[in-house]
Amino acid sequence: MTSEDLDQLVTAMRANAVSSLLVEAPDLTLRLVLPADSVAPMATAPTVVAKPAQISAKSPGIGTYAPRGLDDGLEPIVIGQSVASGEVLGYVALGSARQTVCAPIAGTLTGDLPEAGRITGYGDTLLTLEPSS
């Protein structure tokens, strides 16, 4: 390694806010430690959080799916319908125990509705929603 190589390495360390570097090879050990005041603070890029295109309403348990409106007195849901966060979308039943499937976000129902009686496992996607703007 030449002195020019070391200079380039130190320059790259300073530019990328790296204060120490250890390189180990069978015939070489190189440890570079720069003083904290010689390292430029790393410029932070603005954080951009993209909204996911779709969010899944997942099964809360193992059982068979029953859509909202089948036997609960609520209006049935349809694809394209806007729903509120926490709104009941259906149920997963195992024997006489029934767990509610709720909308994880406010949005519009997309995709296909699962068939009544569909066997589902814990965490299986039942419905998809496109987030509200």
Q: How far apart are CA 20 and CA 80, in angstroms?
A: 55
**pLDDT surpasses 60 at 25:** yes
**pLDDT surpasses 90 at 45:** no
Average pLDDT, stretch 102-131?
A: 93
The CATH topology of domain 55-131 is: OB fold (Dihydrolipoamide Acetyltransferase, E2P) (2.40.50)
The vertex-119 CA angle with 114 and 124, nearest 5°, equals 70
Token digits of residue 12: 């790259």
Which 8-state DSSP code applies to residue 44? P
**pLDDT surpasses 90 at 44:** no
pLDDT digits (tens, 9 = 90+) for 52-86: 688 999 999 999 999 999 888 999 999 999 999 99
The vertex-34 CA angle with 18 and 6, nearest 5°, equals 85
Predicted local distance difference test score (pLDDT) of residue 32:
79
SS3 101: strand
Q: How far is CA 124 from CA 11, 47, 55, 77, 107, in A?
A: 51, 31, 13, 19, 19
The whole-chain average pLDDT of the chain stands at 85
Tell me the pTM: 0.60
**pLDDT surpasses 80 at 15:** no
Terminal Cα-to-Cα distance of the chain (whole angstroms): 56
Q: In what order do the strands lie in the sheet with 125-131?
A: 55-58, 125-131, 107-110, 82-83
CA dihedral sign of residues 105, 109, 110, 115: positive
Q: Give me the residue spans of the domains in the chain.
A: 3-38, 55-131
